A = this chain, B = another copy of it.
Amino acid sequence: MSVKQYIQNNQEKFLNELFDLLRIPSVSADPKFKNDVFAAAEFVKDSLEKAGADNVELCQTAGYPIVYGEKIIDPSLPTILVYGHYDVQPADPYELWDSPPFEPVIKKTPRHPEGAIFARGSADDKGQFYMHVKAFEAMMAENAMPCNVKFMIEGEEEVGSANLDIFVKENKEKLKADVVVVSDTHMISLEHPSVTVGLRGLAYMEVEVTGPNRDLHSGTYGGAVANPINILCKMIASLHDENNHITIPGFYDKVEEYSKAYRDNLNKAPFDLEAYKKELDIADVHGEVGYTTIERVGIRPTLDVNGIWGGYTGEGAKTVLPSKAFAKISMRLVPNQDHKEIAKLFEAHFKAIAPKSVKVKVTPHHGGAAAVVSTETPGYRAADLAIQEAFGKKAIPTREGGSIPICALFQQELGLDPILLGFGLDTDALHSPNEHYGVKNYLMGIETIALFFKHFKNEVVQ
Contacts and interface: CB of A to CB of B under 8 A. Distances in A.
Interface string A13-36: 000000000000000111100000
A332 interface: yes
Interface in A185-243: 186, 200, 202, 204, 206, 211-227, 229-234, 236-238, 240
A304 B227 contact: yes
Contact of A159 (B218, B222, B311, B316): B316
A284 B355 contact: yes
Contacts of A225: 280, 282, 285-287
B401 A213 contact: no
A183 to B, nearest CB: 16
A261 interface: no
Interface string A275-306: 00000111111111000010011001111111
A75 interface: no
A366 B312 CA distance: 15
A305 B311 CA distance: 8
A215 B90 contact: no
A137 interface: no
Contacts of A219: 200, 202, 297, 332, 400-403
Interface stretch (A44-52, A406-414, A425-433): A425-433
Given A283-B357, A286-B357, A355-B284, A222 B318 contact: no
Contacts of A365: 316-317
Given A306-B320, A429-B214, A29 B402 contact: no
A317 to B, nearest CB: 4
Contacts of A224: 285-287, 293, 296-297, 401
B317 A280 contact: no
Given A308-B309, A310-B308, A90 B318 contact: yes
A377 interface: no
A282 B223 contact: no
A310 B89 CA distance: 17
A202 B266 CA distance: 53
A356 B314 contact: no
Interface in A352-407: 355-359, 365-366, 400-403
Nearest to A206: B317
A431 B226 contact: no
A321 interface: yes
B307 A313 contact: yes
Contacts of A284: 226, 355-357
A434 interface: yes
A264 interface: no
A328 interface: yes
A29 B317 contact: yes
Contacts of A160: 317
Interface in A412-443: 426, 429-434
Contacts of A319: 202, 204, 306, 330, 402-403, 431
Given A158-B318, A229-B304, 6 more contacts: A160-B317, A219-B297, A219-B400, A226-B286, A229-B327, A283-B359
19 contacts: A29-B318, A160-B317, A211-B286, A212-B282, A214-B432, A214-B434, A215-B433, A222-B401, A223-B297, A223-B302, A225-B282, A225-B286, A229-B304, A230-B240, A234-B236, A284-B357, A307-B313, A309-B309, A317-B330
